[in-house]
């Protein structure tokens, strides 16, 4: 299972140096990495050996506020935004590019949720203002026009729900 194990870093008194381990097969390494959560809280950490570029990107993603979670798998970085949207970070992707994509996704998700809630609010009658009409004077065309999607949009524009702005999202740290 383990092919070679070496200590890395300078020797310091009262300090345990890290180990770098090479496994005989990829499946053995994957098995150990999959079971590393069992060591949570024990003071032992198992992490992948990333390239310096990927290690720097990974550290930066863990500091960004709009990133809910960042992890690595087989040397590749994955990022989960606040709305649950997962992105795989490519080798040429910068931290700023991924942050912009997460922000765009978060804003579009927020806009969809705002529209859906406005449609639901419009579809449900306000029971406090319900009136019984004995003679409806409106025509069928008027009633159909009031239910059109254009009026739903106008309705959502008149509600007090704030429109998403660029400030909703994540600053770079």
For residue range 119-162, what is the model confidence (pLDDT) as tens digits? 666 555 555 555 555 555 556 556 555 554 444 433 333 444 44
What is the torsion angle, in degrees rounded to the nearest 10, for the CA atoms of residue 53, residue 58, residue 59 and residue 61?
A: 130
Residue 34 and residue 94 share a domain:
no
Considering Cα of 35, then 36, then 37, then 39, what sign does the dihedral take?
positive
Domain range for 27 = 1-47
Domain for residue 18, yes or no?
A: yes
Residue 169 and residue 85 share a domain:
yes
Average pLDDT for residues 52-75, to the nearest whole number? 92
Residue 92 and residue 74 share a domain:
yes
Residue 111 and residue 33 share a domain:
no
Position 80 pLDDT exceeds 90: yes
Residue 67 and residue 39 share a domain:
no
Residue 59 and residue 41 share a domain:
no
Considering Cα of 54, then 59, then 64, then 70, what sign does the dihedral take?
positive
Distance CA 87, CA 67 (A): 10
For residue range 85-97, what is the model confidence (pLDDT) as tens digits? 899 999 899 999 9
């Amino acid at each position: 299972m383990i092919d070679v194990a070496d200590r890395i870093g300078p020797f310091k008194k009262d300090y345990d140096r890290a180990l770098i381990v090479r496994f005989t097969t990829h499946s053995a390494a994957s098995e150990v990495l999959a079971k590393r959560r069992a060591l949570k809280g024990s003071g032992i950490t198992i992490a992948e050996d990333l390239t310096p570029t990927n290690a720097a990107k990974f550290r930066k993603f863990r500091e960004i506020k709009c990133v809910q979670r960042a992890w690595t798998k087989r040397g590749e970085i994955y990022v989960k935004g606040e709305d649950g949207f997962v992105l795989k970070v490519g080798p040429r992707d910068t931290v700023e590019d991924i942050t912009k994509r997460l922000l765009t996704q978060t804003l579009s998700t927020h806009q969809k949720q705002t529209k859906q809630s406005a449609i639901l609010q419009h579809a449900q009658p306000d029971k406090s203002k319900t009136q019984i009409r004995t003679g409806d004077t409106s025509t069928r065309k008027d009633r159909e026009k009031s239910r059109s999607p254009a009026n739903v949009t106008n309705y959502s524009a008149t509600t007090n729900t704030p429109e998403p702005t660029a400030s909703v999202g994540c600053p770079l740290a």
